[in-house]
Chains A and B, each alone.
Chain A
Amino acid sequence: MLVIAFLAFIACTFEDIESDIGSQSNPNSQVQLAAQVGQVHRFFNKAISGEPLSNAMYCAVAGTIAWMFLLKLEPLVPDAPWKAAVVAIPLGVAGAALIHMIFATTAHCGRTAAQKRFSQPIYLDVFYGHLLPIATHGFMTTFCITSIAYIQSNVGTLSGNPALNHPFALPLLGFIWGITVGSIGSSTGDVHYGTEREFQDRPFGEGKRVVYHGKITRYAECGIRTQKDIASFCAKFGGPCTGMTFGLIILFENWRTLVGMMLGGFLPNLTMGGDMAAIGGIVVGLLIVAAFVVGNVIFVRWVRAKCGPFVGV
């Protein structure tokens, strides 16, 4: 279970950095708007869709291809199924990375071609130079998610008790976690990219006003900014924070189910006390929720006391 939590942490860190390299979803609306207000830029405009859906796509495809390989390879090594997994999962994820690159290219070319009247050209070095970083980061994210899905759908067989397997199949689990990972990365990590890095020459400590929209920072520390500069910045704070979010969620989910099972006496022999296990899990979950609500109240109060009312214009 700790392995799953660790993998989840890495997965979401890379998901956030990948969405920074490829400039997806919400902050991408600023990149789109920039050309329309006259600020020609050298950003990679990857607008596949919102992150949850596109991550769901990569993970579902990776899960499907990995599952196809597992079907063919597992009969060859009946005593050690993990050997089949070691071969199948990377191949599946490689296929998903290829599809990721295909979608990224169509999105960037299509959007830039549709902005012809704003004099936004397609910079070929931006185009070619970002494809491989996007694919690599996407590979890491999808690899971790597919491993999590594999472990979860086979946790029973791996530990010798087939009844503990999750009833969903591998691609479906990949789909579910893909959507979750995407929605988490979109709501937490993109804030760092959007509010801070895109408008880095605006004052720190205020929300970005409506009049700033579109006027993103186009010049970087050295030369003209592209996504590669952004990724190294966001990897310092936004990435690990997002990773921690997803890791915490998975940790809490699995931990409270496990605690519930142990409290209900369900775990060593699976025949008795199903109801008590569920009730235990629910009670632990409600306690965690209450802790978070109280924690938020305290946090908001602390931040308000520390920063004080708004000063300036």
Chain B
Amino acid sequence: MTVTPAAVEEEEEEAVAPKKRLSFKYPFEETEMAIILGVIAAIVVIFTGLPAVIKGIGLVCAILWGNDSVRKTSKYGLGTGVPSIGVLGTGYGFIGALMGLAVIEYGAIPRLGIYPAALIGAIVMGVIGLVSGYFGNDEKYIAMKIPHLIRAMGELGIAGTLAVLLQFSIITGTLEFGEVVTWVFETGVAAFIFIFTAMGMFHPYNACLGPDEQRERTRMVSIEISGLICIILGAAMFVLGRGLGAWDGISLIIFGLIVWAYFYVKFIRACMNECYATVGTGMITTLD
């Protein structure tokens, strides 16, 4: 017994989805969303004394921005696969975070936990991303000839750096290098941050790859992965005893659980409604 793909359900789904986002027009949506998300994430990075839930929201924004940038570039066919761009974004993120942590004491107000110099790392990484994009796209060099590759790689650099810096500040509570090394790199949580940030950036597009890929569905997966990161980072905070107290870690776990559950259910339901058919079981069409 098949479930007929009712046209009504599809229209409902598409009418609901734009309401979830602000109602921009499609071609401009990407740039405007990038600016909004970038500004939110950048502001949250500076204030490291905030409760973890707000940093979690900043993390969702940064990973969403990175994912959108990956999606824009990969649409044109890279030849080497989507995961490489995600890993590239995270690699850039770590180098940029290192840069940001190095200049952290300029303009810092440690008592209030404000470290504006971390953004210098993001800007430097954006420059490096632009340089590598230039070499990648230009005729005399690697000549990938993908439109907007330069801008996308610059965006990846900044988004990656912001995401990694936010995760550092969630676990450690501050952005001082000694503390970060002890609690993040030496304990091995850095490996977890590396792979999950990379996954958050490339898995949504890789999982929804196909001719009928829709931007709304892809973004839902990205937010859902950020929820997963928040759950495990919250558990790590709780175990390590960092943050503003025990409730800080637990609140991040609950926040992550809610975000993940809501968007996961929404995504699966959207997929089952928007695909060709969802059948309990059935035969396949035989070709000769």
Contacts and interface: CB of A to CB of B under 8 A. Distances in A.
Interface string B246-263: 000000000000000000
A123 B208 contact: no
B6 to A, nearest CB: 14
Contact of A106 (B202, B224, B240): B224
Interface in A165-214: 168-175
Given A49-B83, A64-B189, A172-B190, A110 B284 contact: no
B229 to A, nearest CB: 10
A170 B281 contact: no
B281 A125 contact: yes
A116 B10 CA distance: 12
A181 B229 CA distance: 24
A218 interface: yes
Interface in A24-54: 32, 38-42, 47-50, 53
- Secondary structure class of chain A's binding surface, majority of residues: helix
- Report, nearest first, the 9 A-B pairs whose CB atoms are least far apart: A114-B210, A169-B188, A171-B188, A175-B191, A121-B277, A109-B271, A110-B208, A113-B275, A110-B207
Interface in B268-288: 268, 270-272, 274-285, 287
A122 interface: yes
Interface of B: 2, 81-83, 86-87, 186-192, 194-196, 198-199, 202-204, 206-214, 217-218, 221, 224, 228, 232, 235-236, 239-240, 264, 267-268, 270-272, 274-285, 287
Contacts of B271: 109-110, 112-113, 122
A175 B275 CA distance: 35
A114 B275 CA distance: 7
Interface of A: 32, 38-42, 47-50, 53, 56-57, 60-61, 63-65, 67-68, 71-72, 99, 102-103, 105-107, 109-125, 168-175, 218, 224
A115 B276 contact: yes
Given A50-B83, A122-B277, A224-B284, A116 B186 contact: no
A53 B198 contact: yes
Contacts of A224: 283-284
Contacts of A48: 203, 206-207
